[in-house]
Amino acid sequence: MRVGPSWVAVTRDRIRDDPDTLVIYETWKGTAAHFLEHHMKKPYRVEYERKLKTLLKSDRTFEWLEPIRTYVKNS
């Protein structure tokens, strides 16, 4: 996947009681406004969003989370 230097990570989770429901967490450098203005308009993202609309049971939602702290396991 080539998304550029501002991409940090992605996590896909499934809700145990509803395995058809997926939650995708994307972490990007920058602001929400920058993400919407620059990344959502890239050709790969436009195509992904177009295809995604045909797969969803309900409307897609975006949430902008504010990181508080990251815990990393020491080796």
> For 12-63, how does the pLDDT look when each residue is reduced to its tens digit (9 = 90+)?
999 999 988 888 888 999 999 999 999 999 999 999 999 988 988 888 888 9
Q: Check residue 66 and give its pLDDT.
A: 87
> Residue 54 and residue 49: Cα distance in Å, rounded?
9
Q: Is residue 70 part of a domain?
A: no
Q: Is residue 71 part of a domain?
A: no
CA torsion angle 54 60 64 65 (round to 10): -100
Q: Check residue 2 and give its pLDDT.
A: 63
Indicate the pLDDT class of residue 3, thresholds 50, 70 and 90: low
Q: What is the DSSP letter of 61?
A: -
Q: Is the pLDDT of residue 4 over 90?
A: no
What's the domain count of the chain? 1
Domain extent, residue 46, equals 7-53
